């Protein structure tokens, strides 16, 4: 203990080193060995460039030739510049770790926020389901009431008819009684009574009394079975920033073209597909208008795997969940289809307008009418917002077709045959309309999930790529690639394949891009 410094020891590195140097003594390490805690780290192995205590050297570096005492070599080995470099490296690492800590803290906060939003989304989805169930309940009761009124009216009519016959029988019986004592009158009354009896028997046969008049309701077992198969409303996904697809800033090019024949055995007409979409498992759904079918195809094995018939010509199709798709039909109806092992039709919604293109986002259906409008509905079919005019009050669309959503913000893209690619924000406000001399009649639009858009030209027989700024990057598929009158586009991000349907054609172009 140094006099006057009560409570302090000689293991203060800076004070000790400074006093040693000033006294002309060699510098001595003060670091204790983490393994042999009673020993000082005062040895250096030049063979392995490691420091340790005498015990460490005896145990781990016995065969090393260059083992020396640190005080003996420190003047030769120690360089101030090396020390400064290490100090700077520590500072850099410290800053990096602090940045990681701050980033992780922000991510934790974002995660908590996203969890809250996800819980709210689940609750909102349940409300949507309850709205649908309430509508189904209302329609079921309405159907029941109509059936009841029909049967009740029939029974009341039959009851009235029977009461009329009963009154006639009472009159005939009284007439028969009054004729007693007068044979001539009795003969007349008897003959008239026989006629009345025959007529009443005919009526009686037509009014056979039912043993019961109950009315019941048979539940749809497919609907109940579908709900019983579900474990949750959907799937929980973790979106990590390290797993997001990096933006694509270069123009795609065609690597290979394959032809997928989508005609099935009982198709009566040449296929005409206006709408396509990809399911979560990568299957391609096709709305075959001329054959009244929704078809599911495997674009790896290049074959149609199954299909289901719909009651009217289908135009657009989109997935609303992992296990369900919504289809626009030509009779102003949205038909829902389950995506089980075998596709089947389930509920449907009748709307007040034409339904052509369809897309789904945030529990909302975006539906075009192949006219001058885009309609936004909730999942129960209630109209939320019609979009028809631009900021100047002019018609925004002319033959509005397919709908797609931006990968990077809230923008909505609508392919309009007579206008071009109409771009709006999430509130339906017009941002811009893309037109180009190389794009003639914009029939469809989709995105690559990396910031780019693909727009098909039905008359220019091509597909144009637009960047995230909404400007043309190039024409990636041309008529020279065999493309003719493209109607719909769908991009598979996993395989980098573009599926293109064509007007009145059994062949879908599956184009591998690079």
- So where are the chain's domains? 13-78, 99-176, 252-513
Residue spans of beta strands (DSSP E) within 55-159: 67-69
Of all residues in the chain, what percent carry a pLDDT higher than 90?
60
Give the model's pLDDT for residue 245.
58
Q: H or E segment at 92?
A: helix 80-178
Residue at token pair 């159907």: 143
The CATH number fitting domain 252-513, selected from 3.40.50.1820, 2.120.10.30, 2.40.50.100, 2.40.37.10: 2.120.10.30
For 20-32, the pLDDT digits (tens) are 444 445 578 899 9
Is the separation of the CB atoms in 334 and 355 below 8 Å? yes
Backbone phi, psi, residue 178, to 5° = -65, -20
- Is residue 13 over pLDDT 70? no
Are 13-78 and 252-513 equal in CATH topology?
Answer: no
Scan for tokens 């989709």, then name that residue.
Answer: 446
Say if residue 176's pLDDT is above 70.
Answer: yes
Give the E-state strand segments of 246-399 in sequence order. Answer: 254-261, 273-278, 284-288, 293-298, 303-309, 314-321, 324-329, 333-338, 344-350, 358-361, 364-368, 374-378, 383-387
Q: What is the pLDDT of residue 509?
A: 97
208-251 tens-digit pLDDT: 766 577 888 888 888 888 888 888 887 776 655 443 456 889 99
**What's the whole-model pTM score?**
0.58
Task: Find all residues with CB under 8 Å of 367, minimum gap 6, and list them.
Answer: 316, 328, 334, 351, 353, 355, 356, 357, 358, 374, 375, 376, 377, 403
Distances (CA, A) of 125 to 60, 120, 224, 447, 452: 65, 8, 18, 26, 30
pLDDT band at 377 (very low <50, low <70, confident <90, very high): very high
For domain 13-78, give the fold. Double Stranded RNA Binding Domain (3.30.160)
Q: How far apart are alpha carbons 432 and 411 in whole angstroms?
A: 11
Q: How far is CA 365 from CA 216, 319, 429, in A?
A: 35, 10, 17
pLDDT band at 140 (very low <50, low <70, confident <90, very high): very high
The average confidence (pLDDT) of the chain is 88
DSSP assigned state of 436: B
Q: Kindly indicate the confidence band of residue 161, based on its pLDDT and cuts at 50, 70 and 90.
A: confident
pLDDT confidence of residue 19 = 39
Q: What percentage of the chain has pLDDT greater than the value 70?
A: 92
The pLDDT tens digits of the residues spanning 407-420 come to: 888 999 999 999 99
Residue 220 or residue 261, greater confidence: 261
| Range scoring the smallest mean pLDDT among 240-244, 291-295, 301-305, 494-498 | 240-244
């Amino acid at each position: 203990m140094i006099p006057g410094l009560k409570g302090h020891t000689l293991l203060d590195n800076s004070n000790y080193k400074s006093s040693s140097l000033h006294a002309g003594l060699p510098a001595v390490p003060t670091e204790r060995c983490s393994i042999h805690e009673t020993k000082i780290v005062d040895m250096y192995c030049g063979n392995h460039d490691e420091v340790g205590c005498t015990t460490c050297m005896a145990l781990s570096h016995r065969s090393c030739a260059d083992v020396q005492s640190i005080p003996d070599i420190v003047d030769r080995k120690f360089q101030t510049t090396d020390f400064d470099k290490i100090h700077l490296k520590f500072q850099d690492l410290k800053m990096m770790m602090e940045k990681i800590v701050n980033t992780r803290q922000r991510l934790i906060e974002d995660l908590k926020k996203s969890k809250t939003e996800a819980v709210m989304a689940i609750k909102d989805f349940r409300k949507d389901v309850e709205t649908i169930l309430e509508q189904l309940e209302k329609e079921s009761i309405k159907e029941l009431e109509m059936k009841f009124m029909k049967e009740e009216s029939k029974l009341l009519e039959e009851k009235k008819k029977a009461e009329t016959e009963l009154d006639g029988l009472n009159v005939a019986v009284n007439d028969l009684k009054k004729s007693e004592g007068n044979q001539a009158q009795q003969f007349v009354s008897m003959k008239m009574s026989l006629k009345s009896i025959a007529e009443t028997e005919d009526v009686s046969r037509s009014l056979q009394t039912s043993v019961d008049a109950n009315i019941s309701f048979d539940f749809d077992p497919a609907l109940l079975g579908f709900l019983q198969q579900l474990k949750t409303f959907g799937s929980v996904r973790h979106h990590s920033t390290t797993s997001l697809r990096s933006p694509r800033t270069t123009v795609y090019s065609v690597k290979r073209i394959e032809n997928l024949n989508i005609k099935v055995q009982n198709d009566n007409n040449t296929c005409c597909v206006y709408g396509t979409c990809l399911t979560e498992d990568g299957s391609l759904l096709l709305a075959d208008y001329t054959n009244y079918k929704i078809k599911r195809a495997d674009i790896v094995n290049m074959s149609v795997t199954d299909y289901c018939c719909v009651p009217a010509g289908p135009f657009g199709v989109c997935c609303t969940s992992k296990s369900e798709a919504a289809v626009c039909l030509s009779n102003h109806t949205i038909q829902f289809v389950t995506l089980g092992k075998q596709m089947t039709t389930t509920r449907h919604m009748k709307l007040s307008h034409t339904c052509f293109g369809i897309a789904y986002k945030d529990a909302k259906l975006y539906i075009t009418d192949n006219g001058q409008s885009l309609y936004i509905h909730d999942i129960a079919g209630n109209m939320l917002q019609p979009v028809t005019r631009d900021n100047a009050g002019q018609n925004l669309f002319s033959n509005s077709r397919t709908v797609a959503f931006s990968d990077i913000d809230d923008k909505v893209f609508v392919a309009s045959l007579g206008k071009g690619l109409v771009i709006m924000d999430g509130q339906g406000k017009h941002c811009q309309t893309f037109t180009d001399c190389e794009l003639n009649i914009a029939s469809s639009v989709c995105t690559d999930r990396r910031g780019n858009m693909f727009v098909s030209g039905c008359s220019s027989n091509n597909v144009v790529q637009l960047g995230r700024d909404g400007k043309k990057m190039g024409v990636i598929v041309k008529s020279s690639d065999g493309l003719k009158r493209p109607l719909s586009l769908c991009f598979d991000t996993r395989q980098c394949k573009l599926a293109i349907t064509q007007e009145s054609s059994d062949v879908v172009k599956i184009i591998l891009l690079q």
